[in-house]
Amino acid sequence: MGAALIAALPKAELHVHLAGCVRAGTLAELSRKHDVPLPLPAGQLYGRVNSDPAPGEADAGPWLPLLRVYELICRCLRSRDDFARVAYEAMVDAFESSRVVHQELAFSPSVHMALGVPYADIVEGIGEGIRAAREDHGLSGLAIAAVNREDSAATALAMVETVLAHRTDEVVGVGMDFDERKGAPESFAEAYHLAGRAGLHRTAHAGEHVGGPAGAANVRTCVEMLGCERVDHGYYVLEDESVVRWARDAGVHFDVAFTTSRRALRPWRRACVRDMVRRGLKVNISSDDPALFPTSVAQELRIAREDVGLSTNEVLETVRNGVEASFMAPEDKGRLLEKISHAGEGRGVGSPAIDGSAPDGR
């Protein structure tokens, strides 16, 4: 019954990258449309994403690192219509696979802008896709403009200034992604402070690539210096007991995902998330780059129960945490939490839509 209950729950997904949601068929069409050569047919490409082969996989290549494939996908997203299409498809796919009714899509403005795509085209397209998913299916979506931490502090600041100059209802926050080892969070304090003063929400990847106590320190820096309201990943928080206690007492939310292109680290991630939950940290589970791995929120929650060993109640708590840590309006959070509570009490989930209307034909 636990698996069926979890599958039926309406869910919020907070840690998912737009470029990592692009369907293989969509990538094939866009690569032809924009004359971007792919090293393999799109239908085969995603199956070769492997940034860190697990034991026994090294000779089964050739493998492609995640960021190389991510770059190829970004080169295929060139127009407002492209961004509208992939945002819409991401939300519909998440609902159909996992009953995700609210999704917060991260995108990397500086990557697309460096390829010559105007920021206005990016955000207008994403907004169009989000609105279409709401109109067609009753779904809720927001977007997060992510700093590429491999950029300079000045580039990050300019990106936030661009976000503010083209403010939209859908883009409600800033994040930070790419390789944590190449950009310490404190380097981007000015960009984050500007975002905070302007009322944008803030999150960041931290405690993912930098190991030991330094990774735990990055988590704390993101919250205390940058003003982050939640942290993406955060596994290395476990390397410093004082930071674990601080994060637990402060109620820091961690957006985690079990499945990663660094396949050798998948067992370690599972063990970390189990320990984070058991040590009282607030965890919610997302898919990160669902098309590329491939996975889904439903699959990640199945892993949580069957492979990690979380109880049904613990998994239910991660679902509630996802709603609480979201950037939805308080009244929308309340409605979705009520639906989840009713499901947990055996009273049924009712309509999956945030606004109480049923998705069209679903």
Residue type, 91: M
User: Does the pLDDT at position 30 exceed 90?
Assistant: yes
Element (H, E) at 121: helix 119-137
Q: Say what the alpha-carbon torsion angle 306, 336, 359, 351 is, to the nearest 10 degrees.
A: 80
Return the ∠ at Cα 82 (arms to 95 and 230), rounded to 5°: 50
pLDDT tens digits, one per residue of 122-156: 999 999 999 999 999 999 999 999 999 999 999 99
Q: What is the pLDDT of residue 118?
A: 97
In which band, very low, low, confident or very high, does the pLDDT at 88 lie, cut at 50, 70 and 90?
very high
Question: What is the arithmetic mean of pLDDT over 179-196?
Answer: 94
The pTM assigned to this predicted structure is 0.93
User: Does the pLDDT at position 353 exceed 60?
Assistant: no
Report the alpha-carbon distance of residue 267 to residue 258 in Å, rounded.
Answer: 8
Nearest to 350 by CA among 104, 254, 81, 359: 359
Q: Nearest 5°: phi and psi at 197?
A: -65, -30
Q: What is the pLDDT of residue 346?
A: 58
Report the alpha-carbon distance of residue 150 to residue 14 in Å, rounded.
Answer: 22
Facing residues of 204 across strands?
A: 231
Chain centre distance of CA 353 = 20
* CATH code of the region 2-344: 3.20.20.140
Report the alpha-carbon distance of residue 188 to residue 147 in Å, rounded.
Answer: 9
Question: What is the arithmetic mean of pLDDT over 276-294?
Answer: 96
The answer to whether 200 and 176 are in contact (CB under 8 A) is no
Question: What is the arithmetic mean of pLDDT over 256-275?
Answer: 94
Nearest to 181 by CA among 155, 157, 152, 149: 149
Q: Nearest 5°: phi and psi at 38?
A: -110, 145
The answer to whether 352 and 101 are in contact (CB under 8 A) is yes
Report the alpha-carbon distance of residue 265 to residue 277 in Å, rounded.
Answer: 18
In which band, very low, low, confident or very high, does the pLDDT at 298 lie, cut at 50, 70 and 90?
very high
Outline where 182-261 has alpha helix (H). 189-197, 212-224, 241-250
Question: What is the arithmetic mean of pLDDT over 15-43?
Answer: 96
What is the number of alpha carbons within 13 Å of residue 189 lying toward its C-beta?
8
Nearest to 312 by CA among 324, 323, 302: 302
Burial of 362 from C-beta contacts in 10 A (0-12 / 13-18 / 19+): middle
Residue type, 114: A
Least confident of 4-8, 130-134, 290-294, 297-301: 4-8
Q: Provide the token pair at 308.
A: 């990690």
In which band, very low, low, confident or very high, does the pLDDT at 55 lie, cut at 50, 70 and 90?
confident
Element (H, E) at 69: helix 66-75
Report the alpha-carbon distance of residue 118 to residue 112 in Å, rounded.
Answer: 8
Q: What is the pLDDT of residue 2?
A: 79
Q: Nearest 5°: phi and psi at 124?
A: -65, -40
User: Does the pLDDT at position 319 exceed 50?
Assistant: yes
The answer to whether 285 and 300 are in contact (CB under 8 A) is yes
Return the ∠ at Cα 286 (arms to 115 and 362), rounded to 5°: 95
Report the alpha-carbon distance of residue 108 to residue 352 in Å, rounded.
Answer: 29
